[in-house]
């Protein structure tokens, strides 16, 4: 499957080299690899003044190397260190009484300005009589940390014009480098810029610096909290005022990705530092397919961040439409999928038979074909139809427009292949895997992307016409597109592969064709041949939807600084909407004419205005997270690596992981076995005193749902009440899924929780 955005990830030397999810892998043999070591933090001998000194001495006593193999000492996000070790040294460490466990480092991948208007941020009501100046002052006290590929500090999106002094509580800094001067490049907006590369030494020829040489980090940081920039566009496309979701908030950049590779040890070190620095929100548009929370640096770091009151927002991944591909599924993070917004970049493909077919494009150069029909060619078979490098015969495609199937390699790379074969244009046609999602690209030659249905029409035309011809026309930018939002094919889906009782993703946000800041040293395609330069680029991916929600979380934090991360997350989830701008259920671009469901869109599309005033919230205590982890049958040591506590047991744990006080439900039935599921939830009144809520239920015919009590009467603000919901499956239901919702309503609020139902065949214990 091709990467959804231009960014492709690979690992190097100590890790596995991957060009894309389908490309050939090659392992570079190395005697040493990076490992993350979980230590018994509390057993530090008093003779050592710091844990760093203890770890370093302990490590040196077990290794024969004279070089210092210690890469990081973790003090906040984790109890332990990262080190470069060979297999013999790993075994010696495993035998140490001070070592709990050792995990090999893993690599994470990035998941790559009308959006504020689409989200209603241009006309917010902050409630409680709060004025816009008061809100702006509060928002400037919120700090968003971005773990990504660094930052391009010269961008106007990081201007500090009109901003007050940096909050006195801030403990971070900007790191000096040959191409990064803290005195010049940091300001009252960009208040932190650090880099972490010890886990990825040799990954890149980049200068060791906080500066972004990729584009991904600059784009995500400016999406979350970029300053207001007038007349922003990509070569005239999407022209208007660009701004982040929380333009008054501060930004701290933590560079963990090098040459499109992000080592887990570097990510954990960045979490460690960001927590100590004092960020309020962490935006992490990175992913990995870790199967346990105790080996996942993002889950580990995010737990400590959550304990410290920091909201962590993560991308859901770009591996849709395959089921159970959603990542970053820990219940203490906000997991964000992607959808379209109501802006498009239409282009028309006119065939020689007079048919006008619609697609999208961001091509901005000279259209050499003009209004002249040109020959259209489609080289079927092998790699030719996918337009892999070397697969096109210049004698066949020279001077012609080439039809390329989507998939297998980068979309913009296909354009390069066509250009190198002397083709003059390209139609990029979706296949069944990508359905009807339309992602616009700034190709280096005239090109139009079309959906599967249109692609099939063109394929048939080329097949049956003796002299197929085509001409393009480009329509610029249009807004108020209907229907929108539409959930996109690439957005990773549930069920949750680690804990199916936790519904993921949590919400969706804008993640398609997003305009945001871009480094001036990289072309919009990121191809070496692309010499064009732009201050803004249009990119797609859950990497783009994640910082939208990060920015919204910062806005909610500014209005309610006393709220916990779980309360802010709850507010965002229970106020999300599930109908598009035609008052229809969300469509799913993976399959034409189909509707989305909570395994695809979670609770719905983020709605900032309503998130400020949710009425009720679902808070989750630290002890509840421990009960949740105990229910997963993790060992005490494994749980301790996450929660960093000694004084806990699993004597009291949830019988079912779904008992955690989550704002959504994922109900698992076992056919002919477990047909009744019962959960109790606690809600806290954050609305007015003397509020009354009544329950409303939508359930499929195969399930009977009962909620007790049916009415919640709150006497005061902050009061907590419980309700119990019982789900009873009908008999003879076949394996599959169904969906519904439970909502607590009054005249002012609708506090909705999606419910996903799954019927599974019981797992049999067979004798061997």
**Whether the Cβ atoms of residue 496 and residue 330 lie closer than 8 Å to each other:** no
Q: Which residue, among 238, 157, 116, 337, has the nearest Cα to 538 in the 3D structure?
A: 238
Q: How far apart are alpha carbons 411 and 437 in whole angstroms?
A: 13
The candidate with the shortest Cα–Cα distance to 758, out of 715, 708, 700, 719, is 700
Give the whole-angstrom CA distance, residue 683 versus residue 368.
62
C-alpha–C-alpha distance, residues 361 and 11, integer Å: 32
What does the DSSP 8-state code read for residue 518? -
Q: How many CB atoms lie within 10 A of CB 204?
A: 17
Contact status, residue 454 vs residue 470, Cβ threshold 8 Å: no
Q: Could you give the CA distance from residue 322 to residue 309 in angstroms, rounded to a whole number?
A: 34
On the CB side of 98, how many CA atoms lie within 13 Å of its CA? 19
Q: To 10 degrees, the CA torsion angle through 515, 521, 525, 526?
A: -120
Contact partners, residue 393, CB within 8 Å, separation at least 6? 379, 421
- Residues 324/496, Cβ–Cβ less than 8 Å: yes
In the three-class reduction of DSSP (H, G, I as helix; E, B as strand; rest coil), residue 374 is classed as strand
Please state whether beta strands 250-255 and 257-258 pair in parallel, antiparallel, or not at all (unpaired). Answer: unpaired
Name the H helices within 612-703.
622-631, 636-643
Backbone dihedral angles phi then psi of residue 577, each to the nearest 5 degrees? -105, 160
Choosing from 222, 484, 543, 566, the catalytic residue is 543
Closest CA to 145 of 88, 213, 192: 192
Q: Is the dihedral of CA 488, 235, 543, 113 positive or negative?
A: negative
542's enclosing H/E stretch is: helix 542-559
Radius of gyration of the chain (CA): 26
From 38, 216, 587, 605, active-site residue? 216
Phi/psi of residue 541, nearest 5 degrees: 150, 165
Options 58, 79, 141, 148, the catalytic residue: 148
Phi, psi for 657 (deg, rounded to 5): -60, -25
C-alpha closest to that of 430 among 15, 1, 10: 1
Name the 3-class secondary structure at 688.
coil
CA gap 766, 601 in Å, rounded: 37
Q: How far apart are CA 447 and CA 113, in angstroms?
A: 23
d(CA 31, CA 715): 66
CA 606 to CA 507: how far, in whole Å? Answer: 6
DSSP 284-303: E-EE---SSGGG-HHHHHHH
| 148 classed as catalytic | yes
Q: Which residues pair with 726 in a beta bridge?
A: 678, 706
543 catalytic, yes or no?
Answer: yes
3-state secondary structure 5-22: CCCCCCCCCCCEECCCCC
Active site residues: 148, 216, 543
């Amino acid at each position: 499957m091709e990467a959804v955005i231009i960014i492709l990830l690979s690992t190097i030397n100590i890790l596995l080299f991957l060009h894309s999810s389908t490309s050939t892998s090659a392992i570079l043999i190395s005697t040493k690899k990076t490992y993350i070591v979980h230590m018994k933090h509390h057993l530090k001998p008093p003779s050592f003044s710091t844990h760093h000194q203890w770890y370093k001495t302990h490590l040196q006593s077990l290794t024969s190397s004279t070089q210092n193999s210690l890469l990081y000492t973790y003090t906040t996000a984790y109890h332990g260190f990262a080190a470069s070790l060979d297999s013999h040294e790993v075994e010696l460490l495993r035998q140490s009484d001070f070592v709990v466990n050792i995990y090999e480092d893993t690599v994470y991948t990035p998941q790559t300005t009308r959006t504020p208007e689409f989200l209603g941020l241009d006309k917010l009501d902050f409630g409680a009589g709060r004025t816009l100046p008061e809100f702006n002052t509060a928002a400037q006290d919120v700090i968003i940390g971005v773990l990504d590929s660094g930052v391009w500090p010269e961008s106007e999106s990081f201007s500090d014009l009109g901003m007050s002094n940096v909050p006195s509580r801030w403990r971070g800094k900007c790191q000096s480098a040959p191409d990064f001067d803290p005195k010049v490049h940091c300001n009252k907006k960009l208040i932190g810029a650090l880099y972490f590369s010890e886990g990825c030494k040799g990954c890149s020829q980049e200068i060791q610096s906080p500066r972004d040489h990729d584009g991904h980090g600059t784009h995500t940081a400016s999406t979350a909290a970029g300053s207001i920039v007038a007349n922003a566009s990509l070569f005239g496309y999407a022209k208007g005022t660009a701004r982040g979701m929380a333009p008054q908030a501060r930004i701290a950049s933590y560079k963990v990705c090098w040459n499109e590779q992000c080592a887990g040890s570097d990510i954990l070190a960045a979490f460690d530092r960001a927590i100590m620095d004092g960020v309020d929100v962490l935006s992490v548009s990175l992913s990995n397919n870790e199967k346990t929370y105790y080996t996942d640096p993002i889950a580990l770091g995010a737990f400590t961040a959550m304990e410290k009151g920091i909201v962590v927002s993560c991308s859901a991944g770009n591996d849709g439409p395959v089921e159970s591909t959603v990542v970053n599924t820990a219940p203490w993070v906000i997991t964000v999928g992607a959808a379209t917004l109501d802006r498009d970049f239409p282009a028309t493909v006119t065939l020689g038979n007079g048919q006008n077919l619609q697609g999208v494009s961001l091509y901005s150069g000279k259209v050499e074909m003009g209004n002249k029909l040109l020959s259209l060619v489609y080289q079927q078979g092998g790699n030719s139809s996918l337009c892999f490098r070397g697969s096109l015969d210049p004698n066949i495609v020279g001077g012609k427009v080439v039809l390329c199937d989507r998939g297998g390699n980068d979309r913009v790379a296909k354009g390069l292949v066509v250009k190198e074969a002397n083709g003059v244009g390209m139609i990029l046609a979706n296949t069944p895997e990508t359905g009807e999602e339309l992602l616009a690209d700034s190709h280096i030659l005239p090109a139009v992307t079309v959906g599967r249905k249109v692609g099939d029409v063109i394929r048939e035309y080329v097949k049956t016409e003796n002299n197929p011809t085509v001409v393009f026309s480009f329509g610029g930018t249009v807004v108020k597109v209907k229907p929108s939002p539409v959930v996109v094919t690439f957005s990773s889906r549930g069920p949750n592969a680690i804990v199916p009782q936790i519904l993921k993703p949590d919400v969706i946000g804008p993640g398609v064709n997003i305009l945001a800041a871009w480094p001036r040293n990289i072309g919009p395609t990121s191809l070496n041949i692309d010499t064009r330069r732009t201050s803004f680029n249009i990119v797609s991916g859950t990497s783009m939807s994640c910082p939208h929600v990060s920015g919204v979380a910062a806005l909610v934090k500014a209005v309610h600084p006393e709220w916990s991360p779980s309360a802010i997350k709850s507010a965002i989830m229970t106020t999300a909407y599930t109908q598009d701008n035609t008052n229809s259920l969300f469509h799913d671009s993976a399959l034409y004419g189909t509707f989305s469901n909570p395994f695809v869109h979670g609770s719905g599309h983020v709605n900032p205005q309503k998130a400020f005033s949710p009425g009720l919230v679902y808070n989750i205590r630290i002890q509840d997270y421990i009960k949740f982890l105990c229910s997963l049958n993790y060992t005490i040591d494994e749980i301790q690596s996450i929660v960093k506590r000694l004084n806990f047991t699993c004597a009291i744990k949830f019988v079912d992981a779904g008992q955690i006080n989550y704002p959504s439900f994922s109900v698992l039935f076992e056919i002919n076995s477990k047909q009744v599921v019962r959960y109790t939830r606690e809600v806290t009144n954050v609305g007015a005193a003397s509020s009354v809520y009544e329950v409303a239920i939508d359930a499929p015919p195969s399930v009977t749902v009962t909620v007790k009590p049916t009415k919640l009467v709150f006497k005061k603000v902050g009061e907590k009440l419980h309700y119990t919901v019982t789900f009873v499956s009908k008999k003879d239901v076949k394996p599959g899924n169904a969906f519904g919702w439970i909502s607590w309503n009054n005249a002012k609020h609708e506090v909705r929780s999606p419910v996903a139902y799954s019927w599974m065949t019981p797992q049999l214990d067979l004798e061997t």
